[in-house]
Amino acid sequence: MRLRRLLQASIALSALALLGASVIFAGPSSTAEARVGGRPPPFTLPAAVGGPTSQPFSIQPHLGRDPVVILFWATWCQPCQQELPFYESLYQRYRSQGLKIVAISMDSQATVMRAGPAARRLGVTYDVVTDVDTRITTQLNTRRAAPFSIWIDRNGRITRESEGFSPAEQNALAQGIAQLVAR
């Protein structure tokens, strides 16, 4: 009887130890933070070669200060060809009020050199960066959808995530950005 209780206690302690170890080694989930109401993970990504900007983009200086829009796109994505210029018009309208926009190219190693020139052809002047190793895409855009947008308010909180783009939603998006900037 005593041996049986000792064995049960030993098994229970082992299970608790394994559970604790898995929590310690797994660490906090970065994808759990990247949802509406959460905060995006800190990141810095390199500028797309031949793109509108030449410096890496780091989100940290903007979190808790500026409204930020993150656009996931790719050169092979047809709706992205419409979305990027539309957001350029919003950027021109609201950049003096602090709006930051960064377009993260999800192009592979084989096509990433097309991202910068494609953005320039589309008239984009905001930051265009690349994520060839998909580190940030995996955390913020788990389905790897293109286009995919994330809006972050001045408090550093994600207020909107949206997959896809349609010209029919431009008025609603423009109103939403106006509200994001006004907050």
Can you give the pLDDT of all 183 residues of the chain as single tens digits?
A: 554 444 444 444 343 333 333 332 333 333 434 689 999 999 999 999 999 999 999 999 999 999 999 999 999 999 999 999 999 999 999 999 999 999 999 999 999 999 999 999 999 999 999 999 999 999 999 999 999 999 999 999 999 999 999 999 999 999 999 999 998
Residue 22 domain-assigned?
A: no
For residue 110, tell me if it sits in a domain: yes
Residue 11 lies in a domain: no
pLDDT for the residue numbered 183:
86
User: Could you tell me the residue range of the domain that residue 95 belongs to?
Assistant: 31-182
pTM confidence score: 0.81
Beta bridge partners of 149: 71, 162
The pLDDT value recorded for residue 34 is: 65
Question: Which DSSP state fits 27?
Answer: -
Determine the pLDDT at residue 47.
98
What CA–CA distance (Å, rounded) separates 116 from 161?
24
Task: Tell me whether residue 17 is in a domain.
Answer: no
Q: Which CATH number goes with the domain that contains 93?
A: 3.40.30.10
Find the radius of gyration of the CA atoms of the chain: 21
Q: Is residue 15 part of a domain?
A: no
- Is residue 64 situated within a structural domain? yes
Torsion (CA) 121, 127, 130, 134 in degrees, nearest 10? -130
Token pair for residue 49? 């070669």
| Residue 105 forms part of a structural domain | yes
Number of domains in the chain: 1
Q: What is the pLDDT of residue 1?
A: 54
